[in-house]
Amino acid sequence: MKAEHAPTIRRTEFMPLPWTVLRVDLHFSLHPEATVVTSRLACVRNRAVDAGALVLDGDELETLALTIDGCDPQPGTVRRSASRIELDIDGDEAELEIVTRINPRANSTLSGLYQSRGGYFTQCEAEGFRRITWFPDRPDVMARFTVTVEGERASCPVLLSNGNLVEEGELPDGRHYARWEDPFPKPCYLFALVAADLVVLERRELTASGREVLLQVWVEAGNLDRAGHAMDALVHAMRWDEETFGLELDLDRYMIVAVSDFNMGAMENKGLNIFNTKYVLAKPDTATDADYEHIESVVAHEYFHNWTGNRVTCRDWFQLTLKEGLTVFRDQQFSADMLAAAAGAEAAASARAVKRIDDVRVLRAAQFPEDAGPMAHPIRPDSYQEINNFYTATVYEKGAEVIRMLHTLLGPEGFRNGMDLYFSYHDGSAVTCDDFVEAMSEANGRDLDQFMLWYSQAGTPRVKAEGVWDGAAGSYLLTVSQYTPPTPGQAEKQALVIPLAIGLIGPDGEDRPLQLEGEAHPGGTTRVLELSSESRQWRFVGLDAEPVPSLLRGFSAPVILEVEEDDARLAFRMAHDADACNRWDAAQRYAERVLLALAAAAADGRAMAVPQGFVDAFARLLRDQRLDAAFRAQALSLPAEAYLLERMQPADPAALRAAQIHLGMTLGSMLADDLRALVEGLVEPAEYRYHPADAGRRALINLALRYLCAARDARGVALAAQRFAEAGNMTDRFGALAALVHGAVAEAEGALAAFYRRYRDDALVLDKWFALQAGMWRRDPAAPPTLARVRALLADAAFSLANPNKVYALLGSFFRANPAEFHLPDGSGYALWAEQVIALDAANPQVAARMARALENWRRFTPALQAAMRPQLERVRDAEGLSADVGEIIDKALAD
C-alpha cells in the first residue's frame, strides 16, 4: 500500500531562487557501474531576492564530497535530505565543488545518465540532471557549461557534449578524454553527454549570413545508409527557419545522435540533440512513408527548439507549452510548407490540407479524450505531482492549436512581428506564457487578455451554430454560441475568443462571396468570424439562394462543432465543400453517424444496415479522379476508434467493433470492382522516393487493399498477397501485410512469419511487427483472443520490457489501438494491464505511467466493464513501492 501521496506542486507558488549558478564545470569519469562526476559551480546570490539558502536538488546520488570555496561547510549551515541540500552561505558569491558517484548500468529509468547497447547517454528534461549531480534543477537557472568526458577508448571512441570541442587527448589504461564548451548559457535540462561507439554522417552548410556550420548525424556502425533522410531534414529545417522567421543556427556544430533506448521521441539538448532511433533511421526497405514524414517533422521540431525553447526557455515547468506548443506549431507549418513545395503549385493546397487533417486526427483521437477525462488540464497546468505526466497531447497539440489561433487572428505578418518582438525582449532568458502573448499583443496593438483564457481553461469547447434563411431578403442569419463543459477542479468556464473560419456554399456547390450586413462589398469566400461572447449573430446578405454553411474551415479552433446536418447535407459537403479539411470532416461526420447507429443496433442485437446514401457518397469520393490520392486516402479512412469511443455514451468497444467490421465488409464488397481497379490502375514509379505524390498513391492503394481484405474479396486478397511478396519498399510491403492481417485472411499468418524471418535482426522493423499483431481484430468469435497472442509475444526473444519502443509497440498498441480486444468482458485484458504496469513501474516509471493512462477514462465505459476495471486500478494503486508517476495517474482516475 502506498504510504503517502507525492506532494502537489502549484503554479502560483513559484518563487525565484535566492542563489543561482553562472558557470558549471563538469568532469565525468565514466565507468559502467561507478561513474564519478565532479562538478564545480560558480554561484551568485540573486539580487532580486532578500536572503535565503542555496538549494540543490538530487535524486539517487551517492555524494563523495561537497566543499564551499575549498572548505567543508561550517557545522549547522547544511540541511540535507535524500532529494535536497540547503546551504547557508555568507557573502554573495561561492564556488561549490561536488563529487557524486552514479551507476549508469543500473539506471533503467532512462532519465539521467544511462547505458544503452554499451554506450552512455543522458536525458535530463525535465528533472534528470539531478540524477547526475547536485544542482538547482530548474529551467530558470541558466549557466555556461564546460564538460570533460573521460572514458574507455575501445568501447566509447566517441565522446560528445554540448557546444564546441576544445580539447581531446589520450590517457593511461586505454582511456581518453574530450573537453566541450557551450558558449550559450542554458538550463541544466538541456545538458547532454554521449560516449559510445558510433559513426557519423557529416555535412557542411552555410547559414544565411554566410557562417559555415558542421552538421552531424551519429548512428551505430551499419546504419549510415539510414541517416541521409534525417540529414536532409535538418538542412531543410535550417533553411525554413531562416526564411520564415529570420532565425539562424547560432552554433558552429550541430549534432544529432540516435539511441535505441529512449523514453520519448527526441530531445533538443543544445547543439547535441538525442533522438530515438525511430525518428532518425530510414531507408526504403525498412521505413514507411509515414516514418519518413515523422522523421522530417521530429528533426525539424528539435531544431526549431534551438530558438523556441533553448535561446528563450521556460521560467518553470508550468510554462512547458511556451516551448512545446509553439514548437509543434512551427513543425506543423514546416511540414505543410515542405509538402506543398514538393507537390507543386497546383496540388499545394491539397497537400497542405492533408497535413492539417493528420494534425486534426491526432488532436481528436488523443487530446479530446484527455480533455474530457480525469487528467484534463489547461495547456498551462495549475498543478502537478509528477511533471513527466504533463508532456501531454494537451500541452503539445492543443498548445499548438492555441498558437495557430494567434496566427489566424493576427495574420502571418502580425505573427512574425510578434515573434520578432518576443526574441528582442527575451533572448537569453527564462520566461512565461504571458510574456509570449504580451509580445504578440504589443507588436499588433491588440488586447489579448481574453485570449489568455485558452491558457487557463481546460476542456474542449462546444460551438453550436444555427442558420436561418430569409428568401425574400436574400439573407442568412447565423447564430453561434459556445459552451465549455466542466473539468476536474474547474466547474465554471468563461467565454473564449474563438476564430471561426466560414464559407457559404450555394446549391450549385460553388462558394458564395461573403458580405455581412452593413458592408458595402463582399469580402472573399472564406472569412474568419470572431466569437468572443457566449453567443453572437452574423447576417450575410446578397445571397441568391439558401446556402449550406461550411463552418470551422481548416479546423480554425480546437473545438467540437455542433451543427444539425442531415445525411443529404453531409453528402453534399462531401462532394462540394471547397475547404478540403471540411470536405474530409463531412465524410468523418457521416461515417461517425453511420458507425454509431450500427453500434447501437449491435448492442441491442438488432440487424445492422448501412444506409445506401453513405455508400454512394463514399463511392463518389473514391471515383473522383480530380482529387489527389493522398486526400482521397484521408477522406476514405474511417474516424479513429479512440475518437468514436469518446463520442459513444457509454463507450462499448465490442459493439463499436461489430459496427466497424460490418461497415468495412459492406464498403469493401459493394465497391470491390472500384477498389481493385484503383489498386491496379495507380502506377507506381519503379524506384522508391519519399515524395508526397508517390506517398499519396501508396496510401490510397494500401487503403483499398484494406477494404478488399476486410470484405474477404478473393481477388483483392490475392492482390494484397502478391503486392506483399513483390514489394520493393517497406510502405508497400507493410501496407499489404497490414491489409492481410486486418482482414484476418488465411494468408495473414504466413505473411507475418515471412516478414519476421526477413527482419528478425532489425529492431525498428520488428516494432511494426509487434504493433500490427497487438492491433489484430477478431473476425471469427471462435478464434483465440488477441490477448493470447500478446501474452505469447511478451515472451518472444525479440521483445524486451526494458526498451520503450517495444513496450509502446506491443502493449501501447494493444491497450490503446485495439479497444475491443483489450476491453474483454471477463476483465482479462485489465489483469494484463495491471500486471504489466506494475512490472514496468519497478524499472521505468515514465513509461509505466504512459501505459497506466490507457485506463484513465474507465468511467466512460459500460457499467459491466467499469466493474471489471476498478479492481485492477485498485490493484495498481495498492502495489508496493508505486512511483509518483503512476500514483498520480491512478489517484486521479479513481478520484470521485
Q: How far apart are CA 109 and CA 113, in angstroms?
A: 9
Element (H, E) at 698: helix 692-710
| Residue 391 contact among Zn ion, ligand TRP, none, beta carbon within 5 to 8 Å by kind | ligand TRP
Residue 579 interacts with ligand TRP (CB under 6 A)? Answer: no
| Residue 406 contact among ligand TRP, Zn ion, none, beta carbon within 5 to 8 Å by kind | none
**Grid cell 449550406 in the structure block, residue:** 548
Residue (of 426, 584, 567, 556) closest to 500 by Cα position? 556
| Residue 263 contact among Zn ion, ligand TRP, none, beta carbon within 5 to 8 Å by kind | ligand TRP
Residue 39 Cβ, how far from ligand TRP at the closest point, in Å?
22
Tell me which of 391, 415, 590, 759 binds ligand TRP, using CB under 6 A: 391
Residue 388 interacts with ligand TRP (CB under 6 A)? Answer: yes
By CB under 6 A, the residues from 307 to 326 that bind ligand TRP are 324
Residue 267 Cβ, how far from ligand TRP at the closest point, in Å?
4
Residue 264 interacts with ligand TRP (CB under 6 A)? Answer: yes
Residue 390 Cβ, how far from Zn ion at the closest point, in Å?
13
Q: How far apart are CA 487 and CA 372, in angstroms?
A: 7
Give the end-to-end CA distance of the chain in Å, rounded to a whole number.
20
Grid cell listed for 888 = 498520480
Residue 527 Cβ, how far from ligand TRP at the closest point, in Å?
35
Q: How far apart are CA 526 and CA 528, in angstroms?
A: 7
Contact call for residues 175 and 152 (beta carbons, < 8 A): yes
Residue 125 interacts with ligand TRP (CB under 6 A)? Answer: yes
Residue 337 Cβ, how far from Zn ion at the closest point, in Å?
19
Rg (CA), the chain: 28
Q: How far apart are CA 205 and CA 710, in angstroms?
A: 49
Q: How far apart are CA 772 and CA 769, in angstroms?
A: 5
Give how many residues touch ligand TRP by CB under 6 A.
Answer: 14
Among residues 189 and 538, whose Cβ is nearest to Zn ion?
189
Please state the φ and ψ torsions of residue 42, each to the nearest 5 degrees.
-90, 110
Contact call for residues 824 and 784 (beta carbons, < 8 A): no
**Grid cell 533572448 in the structure block, residue:** 427
Strand partners, 331: none
By CB under 6 A, the residues from 284 to 303 that bind ligand TRP are 301-302
Contact call for residues 499 and 555 (beta carbons, < 8 A): no
Strand partners, 468: 477
Residue 432 interacts with ligand TRP (CB under 6 A)? Answer: no
**Grid cell 490510397 in the structure block, residue:** 700
Separation in Å, CA 796 to CA 766, 770, 776, 818: 11, 10, 17, 20
Tell me which of 140, 268, 293, 296 binds ligand TRP, using CB under 6 A: 268
Of the ranges 70-78, 173-181, 260-268, 692-700, which one interacts with ligand TRP (CB under 6 A)?
260-268
Residue 310 Cβ, how far from Zn ion at the closest point, in Å?
11
Residue 123 interacts with ligand TRP (CB under 6 A)? Answer: yes
Residue 272 interacts with ligand TRP (CB under 6 A)? Answer: no
Q: Assess whether the previous peptide bond of 282 is cis (omega < 30° from 0).
A: no
Q: How far apart are CA 238 and CA 209, in angstroms?
A: 12
Residue 205 annotated in active site:
no
Residue 267 interacts with ligand TRP (CB under 6 A)? Answer: yes
Q: Which residue is nearest to ligand TRP (CB)?
A: 264
* Contact string (CB under 6 A) for ligand TRP, positions 672-711, x = contact: ----------------------------------------
Please list, in sequence order, all residues whose beta carbon lies within 8 angstroms of the beta carbon of residue 769, skipping any fewer than 6 positions away.
752, 755, 756, 759
Among residues 297 and 388, whose Cβ is nearest to ligand TRP?
388
Residue 391 Cβ, how far from ligand TRP at the closest point, in Å?
5
Of the ranges 262-270, 712-720, 809-817, 869-877, which one interacts with ligand TRP (CB under 6 A)?
262-270
Q: Of the residues 125, 150, 220, 302, which is catalytic? A: 302
**What is the DSSP-derived secondary structure letter of residue 784?**
P
Residue 281 Cβ, how far from Zn ion at the closest point, in Å?
20
Q: How far apart are CA 300 and CA 216, in angstroms?
A: 14
Of the ranges 77-85, 130-138, 263-271, 783-791, which one interacts with ligand TRP (CB under 6 A)?
263-271
| Residue 123 contact among ligand TRP, Zn ion, none, beta carbon within 5 to 8 Å by kind | ligand TRP
Residue 861 Cβ, how far from Zn ion at the closest point, in Å?
32
Distance of alpha carbon 376 from the chain centroid: 17
| Residue 656 contact among ligand TRP, Zn ion, none, beta carbon within 5 to 8 Å by kind | none
Tell me which of 54, 126, 365, 448 binds ligand TRP, using CB under 6 A: 126
Q: How far apart are CA 281 and CA 222, in angstroms?
A: 11
Residue 263 interacts with ligand TRP (CB under 6 A)? Answer: yes
Where in 153-302 does DSSP place strands (E)? 158-161, 164-171, 175-181, 193-196, 199-206, 212-219, 253-259, 266-267, 272-276
| Residue 731 contact among ligand TRP, Zn ion, none, beta carbon within 5 to 8 Å by kind | none
* Contact string (CB under 6 A) for ligand TRP, positions 193-232, x = contact: ----------------------------------------
Residue (of 556, 598, 547, 597) closest to 576 by Cα position? 547
Among all residues, which ones are annotated catalytic?
302
Binding site for ligand TRP (CB under 6 A): 123, 125-126, 263-264, 266-268, 301-302, 305, 324, 388, 391
